[in-house]
Amino acid sequence: MLIHIRKCPGIRSQQQRFYTQRSSLDKVGSVFEKLQSEKYNKLFNSQKEDLKVLKNSNISLKKIKKGKKEHKHLGKRGVNTKFKKSSNYNLSDLSKCIRTATGAIYPLHQSDDHISAYDHVQSPIFQKQYNTNPIYEPIPVEQKGEVPPLQHQLSRVLFQHGPQFLQDPRSKVYNFDPFLQKIIPLDEFNMNLIPGYITSSKDKIMLELSSKLHTKYYSSTSSMTGILSHLHFLISNFRPSYLDDFSKNIKYKFGTFTKSAKLPGSVIVRNMGHGKYAIDSDKSADREILLSQLGHVLEKLLTSTPDHFQKHRLDSNSTDPPTEINSYHYAKMGDFLLRSQLDCKDDRLPGNGTFDLKTRAVCAVRHDMIKNEYDSITGYEINKLNGEYESFERELFELSKSTLLKYSLQARIGNMDGIFVAYHNISRMFGFEYLPLEKIDKILNNFGSLKQDKSNFINLKNFKNDPEDEINSIGLDSKLSTKWSNDEFNISIKILNDLLDIITKDYLPLQSFRLIFKAVEKGSFQSVLNVIASPITDDEINSIQNSGYKSNKILLEDIEEPQGKSQKQQDHMNSHIEKLRELNERTMKSPIGFQVYINTELNNQNTKMRHPKYKSIEDDLKISIKIDKMNNPNEIKSMGIKFLEEKIKMLSQNTIKNDDEVDIFIKILRAFGQKGLLKRSKEEKNDLKKIWNRD
């Protein structure tokens, strides 16, 4: 007998139906219905006021102008905006505002009489204007290893729009090699055959190349993306991601970055002598255990034939173990030498044909990571293109608000064409998607245009329905977003270059230091970048870096042990956090602090846009900065400890929680996981013949 589980009315996504035998899904069905009902009631209650506002928008707008009405909207996945009595907002011209999914108003322009924080800085220690002249220079270096191509006919994904299923969910026919579907457990893979990561400070080739090229700083891509992300937040004023190209299942047309994406960027700048500085990632608060290890395994899987990959198994009888050599791309930007690892290549792609490989765990894994590591692996699946759950669209939606910014920076530093993403749930692979850099740029840097989505604008009278204009504008958004991304990247490197020069010349000459970046919003129309530099010794550097390494090694061993692993994990985590707090306090001695303010000019005119954006391919961008030195030592130290504590708090949240300790969202994901496990169990019993469409 079949049952039909329907989501309650009012939930954002379209109704989803799940059919299976009553004997298997009665329990899961009732739990799921209850969770959806709870979610609906919660959403309904939280949006009562917004529904009232929509009935009489004119009255609500008057109240907004007078500062008597506040609107909060979109919840944790949207843009929260409060409207208060302030001259910062320009609501007189409503064509410069957009309407959100709930009907609230999001202003895109500030008033003409608004005085920015940049103008308030009267005695900066440094002031400069930057143009967009490119400074990127690829450096040819002879490689010992070759950049591998994709295997298993996966190269088809590079030239097809949108995500591609590994196995078609309807017909069960495989679009790619069935060998890819079941992921090898970590304890069966020989990790010793994967080349280890070489930090910048230990890379002798980079030091020699830096001396030859006369660069002052050298770094790997992964060490740069954290601090460059905060320069993006500063220049774009925390521009939300652009989601208009998503389906109606994703009701919110823009969304803010997640807390994890906005965590402070922290690096170790090590004095290497002879005027050289190596920049390494600060690994003290990193917790990349299962997904990090699995990422290396899956990257090898995607670029190896089945026979070659089997040689990496621990139980392999091969007498000829594979030898792996990493390939790198080097580039010079100002006083920087930057190194990028090259994962994959296809000569048919534009440019040099290289692209990055990324393995992306589904939302049920990422939001419930510890349970999947230590308790049980989820059965959550991807079985459709679009939808609120179990879809590729859901994964890209979350990616766009979190890690996509770092992906774009890595690709840009490495002169790559795009990102190849493989979606999985730790135990099974579901599909693949190629994201060209142009598509990533549009998601990250297209929000804020007055032509963004006309259905969202308050006053449509200013829009002329000129067919010729409409035709000419096709594809323009992508070009403008890529132009902005390239220009912002160049300016970000220039600003970082000058910041490091100020620290290394005027304040901490010939010293190593811990550098912390954190951009914060000051109101709705401006942001400030806080910079903390704390001198540290070589012994302190080793203590900082080894603390994260030792903790991750112990936790990884706990994952592989069958007994008492969850309690051991909790004990180790608590011990690591306690030691890390003491270490941060001890090493935060005599720090110096700066605050960076910017002013944006488009075509030599100060822009009043909330999130500056090009309107024409001929537009010219100039960014002026003022650096204000912080003078209160206690305030500087307190701020540095606070920023490091933000990263520690993310660690402390990584504990296993029972069903009564998690929110409704996690409960829903766990219910979908149970459904997937039951479905998989049934399929394995039927033992269907595998059909592979090789054409």
Instruction: Summarize pLDDT for 627-682 with one digit per residue, the tens.
Output: 999 999 999 999 999 999 999 988 777 665 666 667 888 999 999 999 999 998 88
Count of other CB atoms within 10 angstroms of residue 561? 11
Please report where in the chains the tokens 């259905």 appear, as a residue: 455
Q: Give me the pLDDT at residue 469, please.
A: 58
Query: Contact, 3 vs 29, CB < 8 A?
Result: yes
Q: Decide: helix, strand or coil at residue 357.
A: strand
Cα–Cα dist 600/606, whole Å = 6
pLDDT of residue 521: 94
Q: Is 356 exposed, middle or buried (0-12, 13-18, 19+ CB in 10 A)?
A: buried
In the predicted model, what is the mean pLDDT of residues 584-609? 96
Domain boundaries, the chain: 22-118, 119-448+506-656
Distance in angstroms (rounded) separating the CA atoms of residues 155 and 159: 8
Say if residue 570's pLDDT is above 90.
Answer: no
What percent of the chain stands above pLDDT 90? 59
pTM of the model: 0.84
Q: Where residue 377 falls among pLDDT bands split at 50, 70, 90?
A: confident
User: CA angle 500-502-507, nearest 5°?
Assistant: 110
- The tokens for 141 are 């270096």
Rounded CA-CA distance 332/61 in Å is 51
- Percent of the chain whose predicted confidence (pLDDT) is above 70: 76
User: What is the reported pLDDT for 90?
Assistant: 46
pLDDT at position 26 is 47
pLDDT tens digits along 466-516? 565 555 666 788 999 999 999 999 999 999 999 999 999 999 999 999 999
Q: How confident is the model at residue 319 (pLDDT cuts 50, 70, 90)?
A: confident
Lowest mean pLDDT among 98-107, 231-240, 335-344, 360-369: 98-107
Q: pLDDT at residue 269 above 80?
A: yes
The owner of tokens 């049934």 is 682
- Model confidence at 684, pLDDT cuts 50, 70, 90, reads confident
Question: Which run of H or of E encompasses 137?
Answer: strand 136-139
Return the residue matching tokens 């992964």. Answer: 222
Minimum mean pLDDT among 65-74, 330-339, 575-584, 631-640: which range? Answer: 65-74
Sheet holding 344-345, edge to edge: 164-165, 429-436, 418-424, 354-361, 344-345
- HSE at residue 262, side-chain half, CA atoms within 13 A, is 16
CA dist list (Å): 429 to 302, 392, 544, 619:
11, 12, 36, 44
Tell how many helices (H) and how many strands (E) occur in the chain: 19, 21
- Judge whether residue 34 has pLDDT over 50: yes
- Residue linked to tokens 């010079």: 332
Query: What's the rounded Cα separation, in Å, for the pair 543 and 325?
Result: 29
Per-residue HEC secondary structure of 43-83 comes to HHHHCHHHHHHHHCHHHHHHHHHCCCCCCCCCHHHCCCCCC
Residue 366 has pLDDT above 50, yes or no: yes
Structure token digits, residue 388? 């609120």
